[in-house]
Structure 1
Amino acid sequence: MEHKDVLVRQEQIDAFKERGYTNEDILPNKPDQRHMSTINYFTLWMGSVHNIPNYLTVGGFLALGVAPIHVFFAIILAGLAVAGLMTINGKAGSMYGIPFSIHLRSVYGSAGSKLPGFLRGVVAAIAWFGVQNYAGSKALLILIGRIWPEFLNIGAGTTILGLSVPAFLSFVVFFLANVMIGLGGGRVLNKFTAILNPLIYVVFGGMVVWGLRVAGGFGPIFDHVTNASQTVSTPLAYLIIIASTLSVWAAPGVSVSDFTQNATSTKAQTIGQTLSLMVGYVIFAFASITVLNGAAITGVSHQGDVLQIINQWDSMPAILLASFVLLMTTVSTNATGNIIPAAYQLTALLPKKINYRRGVIIASIISFIIMPWKFMESGSVILVFLNYIGSLLGPVAGVMIAHFYFVVKQKIDLNLLYYSPEQAAANPYSGVNKKAYIATLCGFIVSIVGQFIPALEFLSQISWIDGFIVGLLIYLVLNRAE
């Protein structure tokens, strides 16, 4: 059965406002607000994969001790999995024009949506926003240090919250730049990514050429196996890489309706996101392995940190350009996947007190306070952090997809979803969906059990996958058992 997109009329919006939904950020989009076409979605994610934490994560993949060719194919498969997650879970947004907070409400209930919304918008998004800010500030520090070497000596070794004075100042400047882009919202971001994406592929294309030249070609790049303290089997490595990549996208994966609600059609977001992520990840897989292994073969120490590689180049123009583009990709990724969703979710949690701009400011302040540089110590730390994110949000994604496709069969009644206080008692969307909570909790328990039972450690290494599967299946079983 074909399910067509639902175009909301102005009279419906007026009716919802009369019921108390006066915050524009939680209302469904009308046709004239759906401004994102296939090409907008294609450019939305193309540059997002090329950011500093993602390269650090690939450093962790290479440290698993498997052949680079397996890492290459696993990353591509992971890109396909991410594309599936984003387009499938994004259909509710593009079909009904609703944001993530309302999509979540249709699954967990009005009261029940608060906790998973908090986990995505406050815990995952804000923490990852801080991590991306710190990663970008390191690129900024390199850039400033090359242009103004004396800057690196400011403070004479004094530290602020564990960072040197130059590093702290770089973090503050980059943090403020990210906040400004976040305050601009989606329209500013679309213009920003349209300009940035061509630069990304010029720079990373040049880095690939450099890696091939210093390593002596494709053979040495794909023959070089990183020494690992503990190797894993190849099949498990594939699962770890796919699960870790899905964990990178765990937060935007559950809240993708915040972006797909702007789609001109479901077809536009499906084609655009699929092409964007598939093309982006094929290029990223090749570029990241070539650059990291090329540097390792020549004796450049980097621990997966692409910034350390750039900083050891001989060409000043190349260092400045590469550092600048890495700065911009991190800003783009941070706005798209973290600060914008965090602001929307804070708005949904307290719609009468927080609007989008206040949400950006609150989320930004929290991300600063948690000192995110503690998460960026090595590739292995990043993998552990991603597993925790996967444990939290994998089950939520599983329940959301099971509910929309198999329980309600892609049907959402907007008139009931935006109910008035007087209609709450008999409304199917009010209260808490207990079956959704039980399924989410089961998925979470399975995904973290390996941290307490050594024999089941592999479950925690692929936390997003097992949490997603268990959450989806348990939810379906509970609904069939009625």
Structure 2
Amino acid sequence: MPSWSWPDIKQRLQCPVDEDAEYENTTWCNRDLIPIPPERRTYGVWSYFGYWTVSGSCISAWSTGSTLLSFGLSPQQAIGAVILGGFISGLLAVGCGWMGEVHHIGFTVSSRFSWGMRGSYFPVIIRTFVSCMWFGMQAFWGGQATSVMIGAIIPGFAHMPNYFSKSSHLQTNDFIGLLIWMCGFIPAVLIKPEKLQLPFFICFVFFCSSCFGILIWAVSQAHGPGNLFHEPGSAPNTGWAFMFGITAILGSWGAGTLGQSDWVRYSKRRYAPTLSQLVACPITIALTATIGIIVTSSSNKLMGGEIQWNPIYLLSDIQEYYHSSPRVRAGVFFASLGMVASQFSISVVLNSVSCGMDLAGLWPKYINIRRGSYIMAIIGIAVQPWQLISTADKFLSVLSGFGVFMAPATGIMLADYHVIRRHRLKLSDLYRGDSSSIYWFRNGVNWRAFAAFTAGMWPLLPGLAANVNDWNYGQWVGWLRLYNLTFLVGLAISFLVFWGLNVVFPVGGIDQEGPFIPESEGVVYAVWFI
């Protein structure tokens, strides 16, 4: 008979440990937090191209580019903002992923050398919050794509009565689609991160087929990119609107690059991810967004002058426009299938793995990536993402708003790792939760990181409030313009302040480095701080 005493139950609930492992589940360590051992490093150059094609070729890229038309940029200006934002995101990916290549650790653990062992909970919790928000939006889009796909098979499904209130911004058929999409996402989380290369490729092929299929339809039916493509922008101030477009890109992918080491740590060799970060990242984001802009412009001519910035809504409109003819329903089905696949892949790549590892860092004994992903899914749906993306303006506000918190954290990481520590880390001390660790600082907290974070964040908060509440007058204009530079300003301020504080108030141990498990200690060290 199995024992059901409380100590036995606690033991059974702990995260699995590899056979013959040189670590144990502790307050600071489990299988998903240790530096990735050589046998689990399975990503080569083409694997990272697959990663970035999935990350860049997605509904977010399409919608961000075409949403900029609603914000008042011309198509050419929107394309320029997307290209520049994608290139900057690629540079940030290289800088933030460096420690993953060299030390094979992820963001959750690397935060400890900047913020302190206890202080690292702060950026981890912030990124967990952002990841949950992002997952909620991606899941909702996945549910809508599923709803459109079902509606292509059963036309009456698209017109079923809505039993939710109008203020909820949620349709009954979209909710059913979300439930079905979640049933597919839950088993996808069971795939280990080091085994995701083939799913990356399959989802990329599906989504690209959908993108080019819609593009061919739109351009052929409109006999070109449409009149909107040649019209000037309507933004009152083009320069600041252009910078806001860059901010929207960085708020999305720039925030994702903060945790680039979560994936780069699986690289087989040095520089395997670099080419894809510098090439595949900006190209895929820019190409997908450009397709979205052209299709939005072309369909604007066909659909009676309404700008449809979301490809999922566009597919639904296409089926209605052609009165659900069999040929169109077949096309809509396969196109929406690509959207569903894209949402599966992007939710795993940019949300579940990173957020799962962050949650694992909060309670390593009992939470790993898989369990953390399920917690993220519950929170992401509970925040009602359909309220966040109900309009184009709200969508851009959400994207740029994330940068207020992610940019300062990125600046701190880049300054500490590249300038102050010069790529030197004592890995064993990143898993040692007492004053013997050089990353303990004072009571486990590095006050310099919190000061730099505050300095980088507070100048952007008035602009965030003005943007959300549409205060475009008087004293708020200056704050809004500063907010249009959110990611660049927040990153630069926190970088310089953190660097300066470390010059004036230097910390010890910045020249020390060493492996995860010192040869003289072996596995014994891992049980010191259980």
> TM-score w.r.t. structure 2 length?
0.82
| Equivalent pair of 1:141/1:170 in contact (CA under 8 Å) | yes
Residues 1:50 and 1:432: Cα distance change in structure 2 (over 3 Å): same
**In the alignment, structure 1 residue 381 sits paired with structure 2 residue 403:** no
Q: Does 1:260 align with 2:264?
A: yes
Residues 420 and 132 from structure 1, CA distance in 2 versus in 1: closer, same or farther, beyond 3 angstroms?
closer
Q: Counterpart of 1:239?
A: 243
The offset of 1:422, in angstroms, is 6.6
Q: Deviations over 1:26-69 (max 9, x none)?
A: 11012221111110000112133333343332233112323211
Letter in 2 for 1:169: I
| Alpha-carbon shift at residue 441 of structure 1 (Å) | 0.9
User: What does residue 445 of structure 2 align with?
Assistant: 432
Structure 2: gaps of 5 or more residues = 1-17, 323-327, 467-474, 506-530
Which shows bigger deviation, 270-279 or 421-430? Answer: 421-430
Indicate the larger mover: 397-406 or 290-299: 290-299
Bigger Cα Rg? 2
Question: Quick check: 2:434–2:444 contact (8 Å CA) kept in 1?
Answer: no
Structure 1 window deviating more from structure 2 (191-200 vs 468-477): it is: 191-200
Structure-2 change in CA distance of 1:55 and 1:434 (3 Å): same
Asked whether the equivalents of residues 48 and 276 of structure 2 are also in contact (C-alpha less than 8 Å), the reply is yes
Give 1:54's match in structure 2, choosing from 57, 61, 74: 61
Confirm whether residue 96 of structure 1 aligns to residue 109 of structure 2. Answer: no
Q: 1:127 aligns with which of 128, 133, 144?
A: 133
For 1:481, which of 487, 499, 504 is the aligned residue?
Answer: 504
Structure with the larger helix share? 1
State the 1:429 CA deviation: 9.3
Q: Cα 1:373–1:17, aligned 2, differ >3 Å: closer, same or farther? A: same
Secondary structure at the counterpart of residue 151 of structure 1: helix
Q: Which runs of 5+ in 1 are unaligned?
A: 1-9
Bigger drift between 422-431 and 70-79 goes to: 422-431
Structure 2 SS opposite 1:266: coil
**Cα distance in 2 between the residues matched to 1:18 and 1:162:** 43
1:191 shift after superposition: 1.7
Q: Is residue 2:220 matched to residue 1:216? A: no
What do residues 84-117 of structure 1 show as CA deviations (whole Å, max 9, x unaligned)? Answer: 1111100011110112111111211111110110
Q: Does 1:138 align with 2:144?
A: yes
Aligned: 1:288 with 2:311:
no
In 2, Cα distance between the equivalents of 1:378 and 1:18?
45
Q: Summarize deviations over 1:374-433 as a string: whole Å, max 9, x none.
A: 011111101111122111111100110011111111111113223254724885597111
Structure 2 equivalent of residue 469 of structure 1: 492
Report the Cα distance in structure 1 between the residues aligned to 2:144 and 2:25, rounded to whole angstroms: 49
- Tell me the alpha carbon deviations over residues 239-271 of structure 1, each in whole angstroms, 9 at most, x when there is no partner: 111111011124422111110110112310111
Q: How large is the Cα RMSD of the aligned pairs?
A: 2.5
CA distance in 1, matches of 2:194, 2:26: 29
Contact 2:455–2:494 (8 Å) recurs in 1: yes
Match of 1:307 among 294, 312, 316: 312
- Which of 139, 142, 157 matches 2:162? 157
Structure 1 stretches of 4+ moved >6 Å: none
Structure 2 residue 479 is matched with structure 1 residue 456: yes
1:338 aligns with 2:351: yes
1:318-329 to structure 2, matched below 5 A, reads 318-329=331-342
Give the CA deviation at 1:219.
Answer: 7.6
SS for the counterpart of 1:184 is coil
Cα contact 2:90–2:282 (8 A) shared by 1: yes
More divergent stretch after superposition (163-172 vs 347-356) = 163-172
Gap change, CA 1:320 and 1:20, over 3 Å in 2: closer
- The corresponding residue for 1:36 is 43
- Aligned-residue offset at 1:434: 0.9
Once the two structures are TM-superposed, the CA of residue 458 in structure 1 deviates from its matched residue by: 1.4
8 Å CA contact retained: 1:56, 1:378: no
Structure 2 residue identity aligned to 1:243: T
Q: In the alignment, what sits opposite 1:181?
A: 188
Distance 1:302 1:51, change over 3 A: farther
Matched, 1:148 2:154: yes
Larger mean CA deviation between 390-399 and 211-220 belongs to 211-220
1:459, distance to aligned residue in structure 2 (A): 1.8
In the TM superposition, what whole-angstrom CA distance separates every residue of 1:249-294 from its partner, at most 9, and x where no partner exists? 2442211111011011231011122222132123223211111111
Query: Is residue 2:66 matched to residue 1:64?
Result: no
What do the CA deviations read for 1:168-205 (whole angstroms, capped 9, x no partner)? 11111112322322232314532211122223323212
Partner letter of residue 243 of structure 2? L
Cα distance in 2, alignment partners of residues 68 and 386 from structure 1 = 20
For the residues of structure 1 that align with 2:54 and 2:393, how far apart are their CA atoms? 24
Return closer, same or farther for 1:383/1:328 CA change in 2, 3 Å cut-off. Answer: same
User: CA–CA distance in 2 between the matches of 1:87 and 1:357?
Assistant: 26
The aligned residue for residue 3 of structure 1 is none
**Mapped partners of 2:439, 2:190: distance in 1:** 38
What fraction of aligned residue pairs are identical, expressed as a percent?
23
Q: Is the 8 A contact 2:146 2:336 kept in 1?
A: yes
